[in-house]
Amino acid sequence: MNPVASPPDQSRLPFRPEQRLTSGRQFEEAYRVGRRKGDALFGIIVRPNGLPQARLGMAVSIKACGKAVRRNIVRRVIRNTFRLCQHPLAGFDVVVNARPGARGASNPEMVASLERLFQQLMRANPPKMPPSPAKNP
C-alpha cells in the first residue's frame, strides 16, 4: 500500500463521488459485518462491496478531534491516503473512525497509521482474483 507502489502519476488517482459511502445503511452494513483493525489514531472497518472500486466513509467527531479546523485536516489526510492506496483496496468498503489520538498527531503520523492499518486489513482480507479463462487445447 505504499504510495510509491501506486501508479506513478498521482494526479490520475481521483476520489470520485461513487467512491464515497453516503447513506446510513452503507455505514450500518459495514459496522455490522466488516472486519476491524485499529490503533491509537484510527479504527478501520473493511467489508467486501462487490464493486470494481473501493469506497470510503469517515467518522471524524468533535469528541475525537476537536474543533472544525482540526477535523477537516484529519478528513483531508484520510481522503488523500485513501486516494493513494485505493487500488489494493478495490472491491471493499472502508470506514475510518478517528480516535482521540488523531487530535495531536502530525500528518505523517496519521498517514503512516492509515497505511499500516490498510496493509493489515488487506493481508487479512486479500482481494478475490477473478478466475482465469479456461484455455481450449
Question: In the predicted model, what is the mean pLDDT of residues 8-28?
Answer: 79
Long-range contacts: 25-32, Cβ < 8 Å, 24+?
A: 26/55, 26/57, 26/93, 27/57, 27/59, 27/95, 29/93, 30/57, 30/93, 30/95, 31/95
Yes or no: say if 31 and 57 are a contact pair by the CB < 8 Å rule: no
Query: For residue 44, what is the enclosing H or E element?
Result: strand 42-48
pLDDT tops 60 at residue 6: no
User: Is-contact 48 92, C-beta < 8 A?
Assistant: yes
DSSP state letters, 64-99: HH-SHHHHHHHHHHHHHHHHHHTTTTTTEEEEEEE-
**pLDDT tens, residue by residue, 99-137:** 999 999 999 999 999 999 998 888 876 655 444 455 554
CA distance 14 to 84: 9
* Global pTM value: 0.80
- For the segment 60-112, what is each residue's pLDDT rounded down to a tens digit? 999 999 999 999 999 999 999 999 888 888 889 999 999 999 999 999 999 99
pLDDT tens track for 19-43: 899 899 999 999 999 999 999 999 9
Which domains does the chain show, CATH number per domain? 14-124 (3.30.230.10)
